Amino acid sequence: MALLSEIWVLMQKDFRLEWRQRAALNGMLLYVSSTVFVCYLSFSLRGGQLPAPAWNALFWIVLLFSAINAVAKGFLQESRGRMLYYYTVVRPQAVILAKIAYNALLLLGLALVAFALYSLVLGNPVQNVPLFVGNVLLGAVGFAGTLTLVSGIAAKATNSSTLMAVLGFPLMVPMLLLLIKVSKNALDGLEFEASRNSLLTLVALNLIVGAVSYLLFPFLWRS
Amino acid sequence: MKRNWWKALTVVLLLYVAVAGLLMPVPRLAILNESIRNLYFHVPMWFGMTAILVASVYYSVRYLRTPTPALDIKAHEAARTGILMGCVGLATGSIWARFTWGAWWTNDPKLNGAAIAMLIYGAYLVLRSSFTDEQQRARVSAIYNIFAFAVAMPLFYILPRLTDSLHPGAGGNPAFARYDLDSDMRLVFYPAVIGWTLLAFWVAQLATRISVLKLKVYEKQIA
A-chain residues near B128 (CB < 8 A)? none
* A171/B120 Cβ within 8 A: yes
What average pLDDT does range B35-58 have in this prediction?
88
Chain A neighbors of B127, CB-CB under 8 A: 153, 157, 163, 166-167
d(CA B197, CA B14): 10
Give CA separation, A26 vs A20, A23, A66, A162, in Å: 11, 5, 13, 23
Question: Cα separations (Å) of B187 from B28, B32, B67, B89, B158?
Answer: 17, 19, 43, 21, 28
* DSSP annotation of B107: -
The helix/strand/coil state of B28 is coil
What φ, ψ does residue A190 adopt, rounded to 5°?
-70, 155
A43 DSSP assignment = H
A124, A126, A131, A136: CA torsion to nearest 10:
-40
Indicate if the pLDDT at residue B172 is higher than 50: no
Contact A205 B146 (CB under 8 A): no
- Looking at the complex, report in whole angstroms how far the Cα of residue A184 sits from the nearest Cα belonging to chain B: 14
The pair phi, psi for residue A157, each rounded to 5°, is: -95, 175
Higher pLDDT among residues B55 and B151, named by residue: B55
Nearest to A182 by CA among A192, A168, A170: A192
Contact B151 A208 (CB under 8 A): yes
The 3 state secondary structure assigned to A71-122 is HHHHHHCCCHHHHHHHHHHCCHHHHHHHHHHHHHHHHHHHHHHHHHHHHHHH
A99 vs A10: CA distance, rounded Å: 8
Looking at residue A48, its pLDDT comes to: 65
- Please report which confidence band the pLDDT of residue B71 belongs to, taking 50, 70 and 90 as the band edges: very high
Instruction: Mutation target for A interface from B133, B144, B158: give the one with most A CBs within 10 A.
Output: B144
CB pairs under 8 A between A and B: 84
Q: Decide if A99 contacts A14 (C-beta within 8 A).
A: yes
> What's the rounded Cα separation, in Å, for the pair B162 and B170?
7
Q: Give this complex's ipTM.
A: 0.84
DSSP B29: -
Would the CB atoms of B140 and A157 count as touching at under 8 Å? Answer: yes
Q: Are A170 and B119 in contact (CB < 8 Å)?
A: yes
Q: How confident is the prediction for chain B on average, in pLDDT?
A: 84
pLDDT at B173 over 70: no
Q: A145: Cβ–Cβ under 8 A, 6 or more apart, which residues?
A: A100, A104, A206, A209, A210, A213
- Residue A140: CB atoms within 10 A of its CB come to 22
Q: What is the pLDDT of residue A144?
A: 92
Average pLDDT along chain A, 223 residues, taken 10 residues at a time:
81 83 83 87 72 86 88 74 80 87 91 88 82 91 91 83 85 87 85 82 88 89 71
Q: For B95-115, what is the mean pLDDT?
A: 82
Binned at pLDDT 50, 70 and 90, residue B110 comes out as confident
For position A18, what pLDDT does the model report?
Answer: 80
Q: pTM to 2 decimals?
A: 0.85
What backbone phi and psi angles, to 5 degrees, belong to B153? -65, -40
Whether pLDDT at B196 is above 80: yes
What does B39-99 look like in DSSP terms, one character per residue? Answer: HHHHHHHHHHHHHHHHHHHHHHHHHHHS--HHHHHHHHHHHHHHHHHHHHHHHHHHHHHHH
Contact assessment for residue A107 and residue A67, using Cβ atoms and an 8 Å cutoff: yes
Q: A190 to chain B nearest CA, in Å?
A: 17
Write down the pLDDT at residue A185.
Answer: 87
The separation between the first and the last C-alpha atoms of chain A, rounded to the nearest angstrom, is: 27
Give the whole-number percent of chain B exceeding pLDDT 90. Answer: 38
- Kindly report the nearest CA distance between residue B4 and chain A, in angstroms: 36
Average pLDDT over every residue of B62-66: 92
Query: Cβ contact (<8 Å) for B140 and A170?
Result: no
Extents of the domains making up chain B: 5-222
Confidence of residue B165 (pLDDT cuts 50, 70, 90): low
